[in-house]
A and B are shown apart, each in its own frame.
Chain A
């Protein structure tokens, strides 16, 4: 059933993301052509219209990439809010599936689209940057610096890359689950459920902040951050910490959707 839910989730969201990805690539290619040395030198400053086109292209390049990330966040919220807690929820909650499968399908699809958005943004930077000599050498130098850093802290490069990707993954899920839990908590309000979701989100942020501060104080008090502190241990503590929050938000959301659902 989870596979089927994922199929429909991707179909529902793909129609928003795929045209956006195409737009980012097109505007990147147009920018790359317009800003290539030969064309740029020949055209720029020739007339006010050409300058306007240049200005507009630069603006569109930045705007479309920003819009892609804003859209990823809006879709994450809307697919939960509208498709589950709105009228469409009358269909989704009468399918023979369990609430945890609905939550998992929504968050997994959102993760894939967010990762794809990051990949498309990187591609856009590469398309535009590829015209500049030394652009890819810059990448090479950055990679060397990263390898040097890994050597300095005594961690193999593949392990460090794996840990960074894992932190990004659990950060995404903790953020997504926090939003889902806020919407679910807002659903418990008898009226003004959207306001309830916003207040719940603020409440969860405060709780998370308080716990983070308390934990930092504890680590400080046991001299964890002394000069030769264990970076590996610290990274895995962050991962465990984010996983705990993710699990807590998931449990809250699943409990409300399973035992406190009231679609009105």
Chain B
């Protein structure tokens, strides 16, 4: 089976600075993958290229064997690191919009999660705090039955209690063949959730491995290995 995400010599340059330099990568189906790296390492750039929001400077990227476009966007559920909600909407407006555009959107699932996090369906997005907006976005993204979830810093802006719920939601909501790629630098929080890790630094892949291999070969936790690899 072809990997859900493949990169070959993928590069992205801003002016003369490389955010990604010729990375080769394959992410398999049915895995929860941690995309781990310090700030400015290229995590967001990689995710945005896969989502079709950035154009690569060189190399190629394939989602389910296809270049990013309208077809891959129906397979990918993307959570950006910023708020993309339209201020004029209420929660039920944005739920309707997702239901209209994504056939894989589960409205009942989203209602359940909203209730659990105490967010009203008629609440205005404009009057919400940044953290609540992030929760709404995560609910939208995880209510889809996508093939690939690209979650850029999903737990960075929310309180620790919500963080646990979000991680449980991520594990509980993805199907067997789906892949979840989570970018974060909060490694200890995601360590028990992820199957594989990708260490990225200065736009280059430093290490790809399963969490089990790290524990067996290095006799270390992912957090410990991360601190060793990215020592300042």
Give Cα A88–Cα B71 distance, bound, in whole angstroms.
20
Chain B CB within 8 A of A261 CB: yes
Minimum Cβ distance to chain B for residue A38 (Å): 44
Residue on A nearest B97 in the bound complex, by CB: A8
Which stretch in B48-56, B160-168, B182-190 binds the other chain? B48-56
B54-A94 in contact (CB<8A):
no
Q: Number of B residues contacting the other chain (C-beta, 8 Å)?
A: 27
B1 within 8 A of A: no
List chain A residues, Cβ under 8 A from B100.
4, 7-8
**In the bound complex, what is the Cα–Cα distance between A5 and B125 (angstroms)?**
20
Residues of A within 8 A of B15 (CB): 190
A8–B83 Cα distance when bound, in Å, is 19
Binds A, one of B72-80, B113-121, B200-208: B72-80
A261 touches B54 (CB 8 A): yes
Contact A94 B97 (CB under 8 A): no
* A90 interfacial contact with B, CB 8 Å: yes
Contact B86 A88 (CB under 8 A): yes
User: In the bound complex, what is the Cα–Cα distance between A98 and B73 (angstroms)?
Assistant: 10
Question: Would you give the shortest CB distance from A83 to chain B, in whole angstroms?
Answer: 7
In the bound complex, residues from chain B placing their C-beta under 8 Å from that of A263 are: 48, 53-54
With a CB–CB cut-off of 8 A, which chain B residues contact A88?
Answer: 84-86
With A262-B54, A263-B54 already in contact, the answer to whether A97 and B84 are too (CB < 8 A) is no
Residue of A nearest to B71 (CB): A96
Contact B86 A96, beta carbon cutoff 8 Å: no
Answer whether A90 and B14 are a contact pair too, CB < 8 Å, given A96-B102, A97-B101, A98-B70. no
B88 touching A94, Cβ below 8 Å: no
In the complex, the number of residue pairs spanning A and B with C-beta atoms less than 8 Å apart equals 63
Q: Is the CB of A261 within 8 A of B53?
A: yes
Kindly state whether residue A93 has any CB partner on chain B within 8 Å: yes
Contacts of A220 in B (CB 8 A): none
Residue of B nearest to A16 (CB): B88
Q: Which secondary structure dominates where chain A touches chain B?
A: loop
Which listed residue, A12, A83, A90, A93, touches B82 by the CB 8 Å rule? A90
CB distance from B97 to the nearest CB of A (A): 6
Q: Is A15 an interface residue (CB 8 A)?
A: yes
Q: Is A51 an interface residue (CB 8 A)?
A: no
Nearest CB on A from B91, distance (A): 14
Task: Kindly list chain B residues whose C-beta atoms are within 8 Å of the C-beta of A217.
Answer: none
Separation in Å of the A51 CB from the closest CB of chain B?
A: 40
Which residues of the partner chain B approach A96 to less than 8 Å between Cβ atoms?
70-71, 73-74, 101-102
Given A94-B73, A96-B71, A263-B54, answer yes or no on A1-B86 (Cβ-Cβ < 8 Å): no
10 inter-chain pairs at a CB distance below 8 angstroms, sorted by A residue, are: A89-B53, A90-B53, A90-B78, A96-B74, A96-B102, A97-B101, A190-B14, A260-B55, A261-B54, A263-B48
List 13 additional contacts besides A12-B86, A98-B69, A263-B53; criterion CB under 8 Å. Answer: A1-B101, A4-B101, A7-B100, A8-B97, A15-B88, A90-B84, A91-B84, A91-B86, A93-B51, A93-B52, A94-B78, A95-B73, A98-B70
**What residues make up the interface of B, taking CB atoms closer than 8 Å to A?**
14-15, 48, 51-55, 69-71, 73-74, 76, 78, 80, 82-86, 88, 93, 97, 100-102
What 5 pairs between A and B have smallest CB-CB spacing? A96-B74, A90-B84, A91-B84, A96-B73, A263-B53
